[in-house]
């Protein structure tokens, strides 16, 4: 779509809205010519103590024109949020006039579409009014508005439970047995990078020990620890023992709600490794088939069958972990609504108290993007998700966290479902940005959150295992930044971010 911006350079907001409302349309900047059939002119101008937005748009033989007046008040940060909200709203309304069906999350384009609902609840809005607010203010569909209201209630409860010095910990193991076709993660296949695993474990344990000292010196309390990947169980039992032992020695276990380890691929799970997890107090594991259909498993590059998943789950259940999660993906290549239904029905029989339903995201770095695979249509994905919502609800599961990724089929979402009392708090903390997350390992993303404000900073570890091993000084610099964040917070608390538009502006990040 040809885009013309007048009086501003708000490319990010406009491009996010474009991707959300016109999937497949790429932004092109330049003057509109008579040959252009798909274009939008987005104008901002000063207007009586604020600004006025206008959007004129042409698509599919139809044209529309909308305008919004936006009063501006408060801090610069708040005004920025108000301006971005008005521009996104104006673009959405103009686009809605020319498109057949608006996306399920309305004008919300970001990773955390339930963040405005959590914000409203935390500022005293009665829960029964939250869904209506999401529909009216952000044009979210009724089913997604109810969903956001439900997950926001869980986030609000978690927020109330967290103290100002509570944090969560994450460790990443960026190795997998093979690479799935839809993966854009830096994860390396163990076959190709076997030699890197032992030095990686050494570097990781050194980083964890340094982090433990820093956390103790700041008087912070870890509430949850999550080991993800990649596939952590690609490590040997001895290597897992080494990493978990470093955590035990470095952090006080008493404040933890939970310790989670992703045992993602069933073909990496052994009794010996599960025993190590139990010995270190791991109380939550995740076994992630993604599908139970063998031909779909082959299509996504997995080396195991649905029967292997059943065997792995039997093995896991013998170790008595308090909570078990299973991941499925709606929209995988070669899958159908019937195949997805069979996969979910089989998972429901296996007794996991958490089931996470992802929607396929066609990521830029993935092999899938370049393959001619038969990918289900957005309508078929919608049928899969509708079936999941009905079946999981009937079996006593409730949605407790959600998030979105770019390029998702049908602009849907990923939802964590659980039985009562089985929520994984780490997932709630990270998705609702409720507390700082101190991350260890290659590609680790540390997030520093000042509770009750919109003040968030990030620091990233080096991405690839090789550079992570060779340059430990980068991790130490990130830990120094983390410590400086808390020291600054102690000396000078930021203003409370009391503005729904500031929250709107943050849901994209
Ligand atoms: S298991 Fe996850 S991290 Fe590993 S290759 Fe597959 S999608 Fe990527």
DSSP per-residue codes, 424-463 = -HHHHHHHHT-SEEEEESTT-EEEEE-TTSS-EEEEE--S
What is the structure's pLDDT at 254?
83
β-pairing verdict for 284-290 and 221-229? unpaired
User: What is the atom index within ligand 1 of the atom nearest the CA of 265?
Assistant: 1
Determine the Cα–Cα distance for residues 58 and 102; give it in Å rounded to an integer: 16
Q: How far is the CA of 226 from the centre of ligand 1 (A)?
A: 16
Q: How far is the CA of 311 from the centre of ligand 1 (A)?
A: 20
176 sits in which H/E element: strand 175-176
324 sits in which H/E element: strand 323-330
| Helix orientation angle between 271-279 and 237-250, rounded to the nearest 10 degrees | 10
Determine the Cα–Cα distance for residues 481 and 484; give it in Å rounded to an integer: 5
Determine the Cα–Cα distance for residues 405 and 413; give it in Å rounded to an integer: 7
Give the list of residues 6+ apart from residue 305 with CB closer than 8 angstroms, or none: 294, 297
Nearest to 71 by CA among 56, 38, 49: 49
What is the structure's pLDDT at 505?
65
What is the structure's pLDDT at 206?
98
Determine the Cα–Cα distance for residues 270 and 263; give it in Å rounded to an integer: 10
User: What is the atom index within ligand 1 of the atom nearest the CA of 229?
Assistant: 3
Instruction: Write the residue with the smallest CA distance to atom 5 of ligand 1.
Output: 179
Q: How far is the CA of 232 from the centre of ligand 1 (A)?
A: 11
Structure tokens belonging to residue 394: 């009937």
SS3 letters across 325-352: EEEEEECCCCCCHHHHHHHHHHHHHCCC
Instruction: Write the residue with the smallest CA distance to atom 7 of ligand 1.
Output: 183
Structure tokens belonging to residue 256: 């933890």
Q: Which CATH number fits domain 162-490: 3.30.450.20, 3.80.30.20, 3.40.50.300, 3.90.79.10?
A: 3.80.30.20
Determine the Cα–Cα distance for residues 206 and 249; give it in Å rounded to an integer: 12
Hunting for tokens 């780490």 — which residue is that?
426
Q: How far is the CA of 102 from the centre of ligand 1 (A)?
A: 32
What is the CA angle 277-249-426, rounded to 5? 55
Test site for ligand 1: of 177, 187, 296, 365, most ligand atoms within 8 A of the Cβ: 187
What is the structure's pLDDT at 496?
56
Q: Which CATH number fits domain 1-102: 3.40.1160.10, 3.90.950.10, 2.60.40.10, 3.90.1570.10?
A: 3.90.950.10
Q: How far is the CA of 131 from the centre of ligand 1 (A)?
A: 34
Q: How far is the CA of 167 from the centre of ligand 1 (A)?
A: 26
What are the residue boundaries of the structural domains of the chain, listed by start?
1-102, 106-161, 162-490
Instruction: Write the residue with the smallest CA distance to atom 8 of ligand 1.
Output: 183
Q: How far is the CA of 213 from the centre of ligand 1 (A)?
A: 32
Q: What are the 10-residue block averages of pLDDT along the chain, 509 residues in total?
A: 96 94 91 94 94 96 95 89 95 94 92 92 91 97 95 94 94 90 70 86 98 96 94 96 96 89 92 97 95 95 93 96 97 96 97 96 77 85 97 98 87 95 96 95 95 85 94 96 93 65 62
Instruction: Write the residue with the smallest CA distance to atom 6 of ligand 1.
Output: 180
User: What is the atom index within ligand 1 of the atom nearest the CA of 264?
Assistant: 1
Instruction: Write the residue with the smallest CA distance to atom 3 of ligand 1.
Output: 230
Q: What is the pTM of this model?
A: 0.90
Q: How far is the CA of 286 from the centre of ligand 1 (A)?
A: 13
Determine the Cα–Cα distance for residues 329 and 345; give it in Å rounded to an integer: 14
Q: Give ligand 1 pocket residues (Cβ under 6 A).
A: 176, 179-180, 183, 185, 187, 229-231, 264-265
Nearest to 260 by CA among 237, 236, 239, 285: 285
User: What is the atom index within ligand 1 of the atom nearest the CA of 174?
Assistant: 3
User: What is the atom index within ligand 1 of the atom nearest the CA of 179?
Assistant: 5
Determine the Cα–Cα distance for residues 7 and 23; give it in Å rounded to an integer: 26
């Amino acid at each position: 779509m040809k885009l013309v911006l007048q009086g501003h350079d708000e490319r990010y907001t406009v491009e996010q809205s474009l991707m959300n409302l016109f999937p497949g349309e790429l932004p092109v900047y330049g003057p509109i010519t008579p040959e252009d059939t798909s274009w939008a002119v987005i104008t901002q101008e000063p207007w009586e103590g604020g600004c006025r937005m206008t959007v004129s748009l042409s698509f599919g033989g139809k044209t529309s024109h909308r305008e919004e007046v936006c009063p501006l008040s408060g801090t610069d940060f708040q005004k920025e949020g108000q301006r971005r909200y008005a521009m996104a709203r104006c673009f959405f309304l103009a686009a809605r006039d020319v498109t057949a069906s608006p996306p399920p999350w309305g004008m919300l384009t970001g990773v955390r579409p339930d963040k405005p609902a959590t914000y409203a609840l935390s500022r005293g809005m009665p829960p029964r009014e939250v869904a209506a607010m999401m529909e009216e203010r952000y044009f979210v569909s009724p089913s997604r508005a109810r969903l956001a209201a439900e997950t926001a209630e869980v986030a609000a409860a978690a927020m109330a439970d967290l103290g100002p010095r509570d944090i969560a910990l994450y460790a990443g193991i960026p190795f997998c047995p093979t690479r799935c076709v839809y993966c854009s993660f830096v994860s390396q296949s163990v076959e190709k990078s076997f030699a890197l695993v032992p030095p990686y474990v050494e570097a990781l344990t050194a980083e964890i020990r340094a982090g433990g000292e820093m956390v103790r010196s700041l008087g912070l309390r870890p509430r949850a620890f999550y080991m993800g990947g990649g596939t952590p169980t690609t490590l040997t039992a001895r290597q897992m023992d080494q990493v978990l032992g470093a955590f035990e020695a470095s952090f006080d276990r008493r404040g933890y709600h939970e310790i989670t380890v992703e045992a993602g691929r069933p073909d990496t799970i052994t009794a010996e490794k599960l025993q190590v997890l139990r010995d270190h107090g791991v109380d939550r594991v995740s076994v992630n088939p993604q599908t139970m259909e063998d031909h779909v498993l082959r299509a996504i590059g997995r080396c195991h069958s649905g029967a292997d998943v059943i065997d792995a789950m039997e093995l896991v259940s013998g170790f008595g972990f308090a909570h078990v999660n299973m991941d499925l993906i709606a929209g995988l290549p070669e899958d159908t609504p019937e195949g997805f239904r069979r996969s979910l029905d089989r998972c429901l029989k296996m007794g996991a108290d958490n089931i996470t339903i992802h929607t396929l995201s066609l990521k830029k770095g993935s092999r899938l993007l370049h393959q001619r695979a038969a990918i289900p249509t957005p309508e078929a994905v919608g049928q899969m998700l509708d079936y999941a919502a009905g079946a999981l609800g009937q079996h006593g599961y409730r949605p407790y966290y959600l998030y979105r990724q770019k390029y998702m089929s049908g602009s849907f979402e990923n939802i964590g479902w659980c039985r009562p009392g089985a929520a994984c708090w780490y997932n709630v903390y990270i998705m609702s940005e409720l507390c700082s997350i101190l991350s260890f390992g290659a590609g680790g993303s540390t997030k520093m959150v000042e509770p009750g404000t919109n003040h968030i900073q990030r620091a990233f570890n080096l991405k690839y295992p090789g550079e992570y091993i060779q340059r430990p000084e980068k991790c130490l610099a990130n830990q120094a930044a983390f410590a400086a964040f808390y020291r600054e917070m102690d000396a000078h608390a930021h203003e409370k971010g009391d503005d729904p538009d500031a929250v709107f502006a943050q849901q994209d990040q």
